[in-house]
Structure 1
């Protein structure tokens, strides 16, 4: 069974005021588990026997408290307890289907690892925001444990070098594990960006996302245009600057340079035609 975030974490203590769900009582010597007796009757029936459905429901009801106990054991780790309970119930159904009473193994000894494993697989496969290698998941657990133990022993938060030494890693490997840990839960783009606002709505992270820059399509044309502009006379370059970069009208340019508006228009048309020719474009465009 694979290692997940929950493998090395202890069961939640009873001091958290959660309702305690009694564990199924293991039968004593010579005493038969009532649920196992039902299972033996179930296995003796055909799958399509009408009595099998009723027996299966009785077995599920009998062991449901054990599944609730497993769910509460792994609760408080980012997943709703009800979801964990439903996952454990899936494990119960698998255990009922796969149990062979003739092997001589008590059903509880087969059920608990099966249901717990189902919950652990749920954490492994459905709680990570991104799929990461299993080794990275295991190292995240080791990091979490080491940080807790060292914080308790040292009375302070351990440094990165101390954690790396404890885990037998280099500092670069430790930093990689920390980055992977950030992938366990994705941050919503609707979350505030952390900036302070004076009574206004705090900006969200989405507002800081980049967008497609359509000017990137013009980079090649701009670079090709530079040598063509450099070959123009200074007067024509100055007119282009005033018209297309400083947004002056032809009349304003004419007044500024002491020409007529018609002369400026002819100069602009001739200059643009020359640039199109230098760029290999159709001058009639």
Structure 2
């Protein structure tokens, strides 16, 4: 088992989980295999923790929180669902890191009710995402928690209270304005609006993709693997990977911008 574990990465952990599921929980081997799985997947926790570094929190605390999320993901993952472990673990770990920020960094005053509801929204979001196989809407969250959509909206807005910056913080907009602060940018067109719009548009489309299609996009754009490296993992040609990506991205683009065939006159 040890040699097999050394050849695995968190991207291909499913066989380890399959083996673990066959072991009697009362057997000493059960805890040994669990520890081996956690060890194999620890780099994923560090990878996610580094994405949140530099936001006012000590990295070691972020890493510890991410590792806690990883352990939770390992213990909760059900290999019999057929879903990849990576697709389950990433939102679980990120959810724990975000909860850490919410619990420890609140520069703005947020009513206690919003803070308490935020925790319930997080749990409901995870549960509905697994149940629906996509991100839930505000209306679905409201129905699940038996609150109003307005309550959900206020809670989601309040969750961003820990992300504030001083108005005197350097904006770093360009080398020509080294003294520009955040306050100096008020009234300017924020290029992130377009990114936010694109994210809102694409998120439900990505949720409807098959696990294989999602894994392909994760490898290419999240892990930055080349088409050749992906082809080697799948045991196919680089051209086959290129065609799959082209077809998949083309389909997503068509759905995202709402292109429809022009009806005949």
- Fold in common (TM above 0.5): no
Higher relative contact order (CA 8 A, sep 6+): 1
More helix by share: 2
> TM-score per shorter chain, which class?
0.3 to 0.5
